[in-house]
Structure 1
Amino acid sequence: MSIIIAGERSGVGKTTVTLALLAALKARSPHRIQSFKVGPDYIDPMFHSYITGLPCRNLDPVLTSENYVQSCFTKHSSNAAYAIAEGVMGLFDGATGRDDTASTAHIARLLNVPVVLILNCASTSRSIAAIAHGYRTFDPRIEIAGVVLNRVGSDRHLELLTQALEGLNLPILGVLRRQSEITIPDRHLGLIPTAEMASLPSIIERLAHLGETCFDWDKLLPLLKSSNPASVISSPKNDKFITKPTIKPQIKIAIAQDQAFSFYYADNLDLFAEMGAELIPWSPISDVALPDHVQGLYFGGGFPEVFAAELAANEQARNSVQRAIAAGMPTYAECGGLMYLCDRITNFEDATFPMVNILPTVAKMGKRLTLGYRQAIALQDSPLVKIGDRIWGHEFHRSALTETSDRPLYALQGYDSHLSYPAEGWQKHQVHASYVHVHFGAQLHLLERFIATAASNYSLLKL
């Protein structure tokens, strides 16, 4: 069996509990531990993978599909000894707030796995039973296997909480006291990524100790042992949930991977390889040129605004990218990648740094957070889309462009189709650049088009 770690609401400690569980499990077991993250998050999965040594897989039915979520979970949990998924927001909080679509509860139902519910016990005692009872009965289709009591203040506080929960016959699977010794620093888009944290090994060591001492392992381990999920997931018809690639050109794609560019879905990287495209990592911060003999460029999201000075200082790399794009190299850039291709980036301190200068606009950081699922309708052909294509993606950024394209790439709608947003994105040369992050899992035709474009254009490039 597997579990999903859920919170009664955001901010109750889902990530801390999940990391403590993974770290303790890794310390006590040599077996494979597969983790998952509900939703479009990039940073939490980095911490999962740092601990487990395996790529964390995102489970998002909006960016992909319900069938894809089931197939992905089955594929990656089937050869692991333990499988753990970290939820998103509160247990029943979905994409719109009006229903639980894309919520932790939605994923729990799809996978038929039990929920471990984290309760914030600060400033409450007997009322904790009413909260737990409400979550347990709100949707009878959800099995809550037990609770983890977080922010418990004292032995007396724990005694009161335990007495209150006794009548519910709901196992207490863990108790975390109020503590400030373990703090993972964050900034404007969430936790600071693992590659930037020199103190991470010691933090993980403390998390492992916390996990070893705060969980009831006799109750937890039987829940954690991965097994073949319910028949609804493993039935023969579901073998078609992950579309098989239809083209297999042997080409090389340069992928920007360093402290500035680290937001990539593990499934997307796998799909490139499954389709015969070799991803060649390179660093726009430290490498002076693109890798040799590449036929396409891939810039994911990340924090180019934080490393704008370093990116600007590497003029050779910027010139190398500019020459390749001007020569017609197919390029896919999302969010942080789009910012790097702009004329300049202006950071939070209002300092401005030159970038690649392919897109005639400035990416300027601000206080406003743009966040949410988007249905993007293609207004232009690009290496990724054809006019009229409708794809699902996700926006998450605090920058805005000072100039927009006079021929925008996308018209945007929210998850609710009646919500519309300003058209955005750029198509220039053979560049597809947008703030919208895309998961290729259930939209494989996009990746096929990009790889085919890279393969067909390579013979025309003269760098």
Structure 2
Amino acid sequence: MTVIIAGERSGVGKTTITLSILAYLKHHNFDVQSFKVGPDYIDPMFHEYVTQKPCRNLDPILTSEDYVTSCFKRHISGSQLGVIEGVMGLFDGIPRGWKSTEFNSDFASTAYIAESLNLPIILVIDCSRLSGSVAAIAHGYCTINPRLKFAGVILNRVGSDRHLDLLKAALKPLDLPILGVLRRQDNITIPDRHLGLVPTQELSNLDILLNRLTELAANCFDWSQLLPLLAAETVTPEPPEIPVKTPPVKIAIARDVAFSFYYADNLDLLQELGAELIWWSPLTQTIPEPVDGLYFGGGFPEVFAESLSQNQPAIQQVRSLIKSGIPTYAECGGLMYLCDQIIDFNQQAWSMVGILPTTAIMEKRLTLGYYQGKVLRQTPLLSPGDTVCGHQFHHSHLTEEPPNPIYDISRYHSLQQTHPEGWNPLPNVHCSYLHLHWGSQTTIPQRFLKSCRHNY
């Protein structure tokens, strides 16, 4: 059937519980496909590390409602089991309209995805500061939208046997199955920092953590009830709307601990369109030439700025390739790498590629949210008049405004308040803080590859 692991709010333990379920299933040799609601990059890295299969993002804002359905059907097909991790609290989404008669604030929320895909929800409740009130929470969540289906609850951070007895007694009248009970776990923590969890590539003890999560799952979940809920239904996936393949082009993808934010669907689209992906590390390598295009994803260049700066052969090579006309796409962390400098949280300056005449400075203020952009200039991916929707998530700002911005950009629901964004210092360069998912915008990778072919 496949279920959605949802929280009554952020911080209740959705990710830990999802990972423990995935780790247990993988330990028992199940073929499981995972999904993540929303635009997040880091949680899907943990999913993929456990399942050894790319986790797929389900985000109707970055893509479309139809794409979410087709993506789910396409990737659940052929898998034994499926697990979807929700985002934030169950009903936390984006307002769809601002008039009183049409206001609805749960668009793209976990509840919205559950209803769209007609899947049951397992609600995770943090019980650390409540007992009898758990019934009111569970009842409210299960009844506010009668179209939603609830498979049961998982009680997290239970303090003692007495505490559990009180919780069970309170929930009994609701006839809502308790599918798992987790006690407070002081020895299971996933390190985090300024953009969320520390990515998997940086965790040397991750296998030890997953072994603990596997053991936790074996003892804390009612698998006789849970396992049947995870069984993936046989579905006929809709054929992806992929154009005819183009002649092969080589795209160098920067991928290491400094650059790791890539949607799996974007990479798939490039390959399906005929690209050969060349992986390389700006920290330790140079690009294995010849290549026809450069793709720099987001990540944590500020954390590894010293090492990036010390790899001068890579910096000089990237600068030379871009100036020679190689089409280049850089998002967020990739944009920072192409700046003159990065100034880290310790106020130390590190020289970078220098294609963008500006400096990226780290700060406490967080820029976060969905944005819409109207394209003002021709780039290797977009044309004037195009509109895109993307996501920003960064603690840096640039010392200079782009003289010829790519976008006139605005908050997702504040179209009247716009500002310039995105750098196009050379005709072959597209640099922006805006993270784009290409799933429902296949013209983007098509144009990118066309630009690369024209560079032959």
TM-score, normalising length from structure 2?
0.96
In 2, Cα distance between equivalents of 1:414 and 1:447: 24
- Structure 1 equivalent of residue 283 of structure 2: 285
Q: What whole-Å deviation, never above 9, does each CA across 1:19-77 have from its counterpart, x for those lacking one?
A: 0111111112x231100000000000000011001000000000011111111111111
- Structure 1 equivalent of residue 125 of structure 2: 119
- Structure 1 equivalent of residue 22 of structure 2: 22
- Structure 2 equivalent of residue 134 of structure 1: 140
> Shift of the alpha carbon at 1:419?
5.5
In 2, Cα distance between equivalents of 1:255 and 1:419: 36
- Structure 1 equivalent of residue 76 of structure 2: 77
Task: Give the fraction of aligned pairs with identical amino acids, expressed as a percent.
Answer: 57
In 2, Cα distance between equivalents of 1:428 and 1:121: 53
- Pairing partner for 1:257 from 247, 255, 258: 255
Q: Does 1:152 align with 2:149?
A: no
In 2, Cα distance between equivalents of 1:64 and 1:361: 31
Q: What whole-Å deviation, never above 9, does each CA across 1:373-406 have from its counterpart, x for those lacking one?
A: 1111111110011011101111000000001111
> Shift of the alpha carbon at 1:414?
1.7
1:96/1:415 contact within 8 Å kept: no
Task: Judge which range, 186-195 or 88-97, deviates more.
Answer: 88-97
SS in 1 for 2:146: coil
In 2, Cα distance between equivalents of 1:110 and 1:243: 21
- In structure 2, give the amino acid aligned to 1:261: F
SS in 1 for 2:353: coil
- In structure 1, give the amino acid aligned to 2:91: F
SS in 2 for 1:239: coil
Q: What whole-Å deviation, never above 9, does each CA across 1:75-132 have from its counterpart, x for those lacking one?
A: 1111110000000000000024951111001110111110000011112111100110
Q: What whole-Å deviation, never above 9, does each CA across 1:239-287 have from its counterpart, x for those lacking one?
A: 36x4212451211000000110000001111111000011100110000
In 1, Cα distance between equivalents of 2:23 and 2:241: 34
* Residue correspondences, number: 448
1:64/1:442 contact within 8 Å kept: yes
In 1, Cα distance between equivalents of 2:12 and 2:202: 25
Q: Does 1:434 align with 2:440?
A: no
In 1, Cα distance between equivalents of 2:224 and 2:11: 27
User: Taking structure 1 as reference, are residues 421 and 197 closer, same or farther at Cα in structure 2, changes over 3 Å only?
Assistant: farther
In 2, Cα distance between equivalents of 1:187 and 1:204: 20
Show structure 1 runs of 4+ deviating over 3 A.
none
> Shift of the alpha carbon at 1:179?
1.8
- Structure 2 equivalent of residue 267 of structure 1: 265
1:369/1:397 contact within 8 Å kept: yes
- In structure 1, give the amino acid aligned to 2:404: R
SS in 2 for 1:427: coil
User: Taking structure 1 as reference, are residues 335 and 10 closer, same or farther at Cα in structure 2, changes over 3 Å only?
Assistant: same
- Paired residues for 1:25-104 under 5 Å: 25-28=25-28, 30-96=29-95, 98-104=104-110
SS in 1 for 2:424: strand
- Paired residues for 1:58-457 under 5 Å: 58-96=57-95, 98-228=104-234, 239=238, 242-287=240-285, 289-418=286-415, 420-429=417-426, 430-457=428-455
SS in 1 for 2:238: helix
- Structure 1 equivalent of residue 4 of structure 2: 4
> Shift of the alpha carbon at 1:140?
0.7
2:402/2:420 contact within 8 Å kept: no
SS in 1 for 2:389: strand
- In structure 1, give the amino acid aligned to 2:261: F
In 1, Cα distance between equivalents of 2:146 and 2:172: 20
1:440/1:446 contact within 8 Å kept: yes
1:296/1:329 contact within 8 Å kept: yes
- In structure 1, give the amino acid aligned to 2:399: T
1:64/1:440 contact within 8 Å kept: yes
In 2, Cα distance between equivalents of 1:31 and 1:22: 9
In 1, Cα distance between equivalents of 2:209 and 2:338: 35
SS in 2 for 1:360: strand
Q: What whole-Å deviation, never above 9, does each CA across 1:317-351 have from its counterpart, x for those lacking one?
A: 00000000001110000000000000000000000
In 1, Cα distance between equivalents of 2:419 and 2:11: 31
In 1, Cα distance between equivalents of 2:234 and 2:121: 17
> Shift of the alpha carbon at 1:194?
0.3
- In structure 1, give the amino acid aligned to 2:271: A
> Shift of the alpha carbon at 1:292?
1.3
In 1, Cα distance between equivalents of 2:38 and 2:452: 30
- In structure 2, give the amino acid aligned to 1:57: R
2:191/2:197 contact within 8 Å kept: yes
- Structure 1 equivalent of residue 100 of structure 2: none
1:301/1:337 contact within 8 Å kept: yes
SS in 2 for 1:356: coil
- In structure 2, give the amino acid aligned to 1:434: S
Q: What whole-Å deviation, never above 9, does each CA across 1:396-438 have from its counterpart, x for those lacking one?
A: 0000000111111111122214363421110122110000000
Instruction: Flag structure 1 segments of 5+ consecutive residues without an equivalent.
Output: 459-463
SS in 1 for 2:40: coil
In 2, Cα distance between equivalents of 1:419 and 1:2: 41
In 2, Cα distance between equivalents of 1:335 and 1:44: 18
In 2, Cα distance between equivalents of 1:96 and 1:291: 46
- Structure 2 equivalent of residue 13 of structure 1: 13
Task: Judge which range, 410-419 or 50-59, deviates more.
Answer: 410-419
User: Taking structure 1 as reference, are residues 456 and 418 closer, same or farther at Cα in structure 2, changes over 3 Å only?
Assistant: closer
1:249/1:452 contact within 8 Å kept: no
Q: What whole-Å deviation, never above 9, does each CA across 1:186-215 have from its counterpart, x for those lacking one?
A: 000000000000011100110111111100
Task: Judge which range, 418-427 or 277-286, deviates more.
Answer: 418-427
CA RMSD of aligned residues (A): 1.2
- Structure 2 equivalent of residue 461 of structure 1: none
1:74/1:228 contact within 8 Å kept: no
In 2, Cα distance between equivalents of 1:343 and 1:95: 36
